[in-house]
């Protein structure tokens, strides 16, 4: 599986959608910033996901409009999505992590917390290792605080640790956690995107 499938399964889990609906939603939510999904990629991946029994399509007609295929996620698709969300949460790169956090509703709350707590411990250990290396480096160094690359790595990990802990706090809070029932809702709560987009125009 790849990030394209994570996005498609996550959006279909949120609600049944056609390929056109997905493309529109990707544009509305600026999701292409993290997963560069072209129109052809969306339709190719939908075909593959259906062959792999992760989604089921059904033909639908609305009045005189052309027939369209609307997709529903299957139990197999939900399980694939769950595993991918958990895997992406602890990815090394910002983009996969962003997608993991964007689709938190694709996994169980307890599992999300457990995964993030394990990741939190790893980050703390990595910071400790870097601090030791920084302290042991002979001075002076070109960068006043110590070895440049080690300091930069430590600071990046400190920022990640801050947000991992914040996410755990949101997931543990029953009031805030209830608002994580859609794509990227960790960013702002369950805002109504259709109304939001109308206001912007």
Q: To 5 degrees, how large is the angle CA 9–CA 12–CA 18?
A: 120
Q: What pLDDT, on the 0 to 100 scale, is given for residue 27?
A: 84
The pLDDT assigned to 197 comes to 42
- Complete domains list, the chain, with CATH: 3-76+190-200 (1.10.10.10)
The values of phi and psi at residue 66, to 5°, are -65, 150
Q: Residue 77: how many CB atoms within 10 A of its CB?
A: 24
- pLDDT higher for 201 or 163? 163
Model pLDDT for residues 160-198, shown as the tens digit of each residue = 999 999 999 999 998 888 888 777 677 766 555 444 444
pLDDT at 153 over 80: yes
User: Which is more confident, 66 or 125?
Assistant: 125
pLDDT tens digits, residue range 26-61? 888 777 777 778 899 999 999 999 999 999 999 998
Measured between alpha carbons, how far is residue 195 from residues 7, 189, 201 in Å? 22, 14, 10
Burial of 110 (0-12, 13-18, 19+ CB in 10 A): exposed
pLDDT for 94: 65
């Amino acid at each position: 599986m790849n990030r394209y499938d994570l996005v498609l399964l996550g959006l279909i889990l949120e609600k049944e959608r056609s390929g056109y609906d997905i493309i529109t939603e990707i544009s509305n939510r600026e999701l292409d910033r993290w997963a560069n999904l072209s129109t052809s990629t969306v339709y190719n991946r939908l075909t593959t996901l259906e062959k792999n029994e992760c989604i089921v399509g059904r033909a639908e007609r609305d009045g005189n409009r052309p027939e369209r295929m609307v997709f529903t996620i299957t139990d197999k698709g939900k399980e694939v999505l769950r595993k991918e969300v958990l895997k992406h949460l602890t990815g090394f790169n910002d983009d996969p992590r962003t997608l993991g956090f964007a689709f938190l509703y694709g996994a169980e709350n307890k599992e999300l917390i457990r995964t993030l707590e394990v990741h939190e411990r790893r980050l703390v250990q990595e910071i400790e290792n870097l601090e030791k290396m920084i302290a042991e480096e002979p001075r002076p160094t070109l960068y006043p605080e110590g070895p440049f690359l080690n300091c930069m790595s430590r600071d990046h990990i400190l920022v990640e640790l801050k947000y991992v802990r914040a996410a755990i706090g949101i997931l543990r809070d029953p009031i805030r956690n209830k608002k994580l029932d859609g794509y990227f809702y960790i960013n702002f709560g369950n805002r109504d995107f259709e109304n939001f987009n109308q206001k912007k125009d």
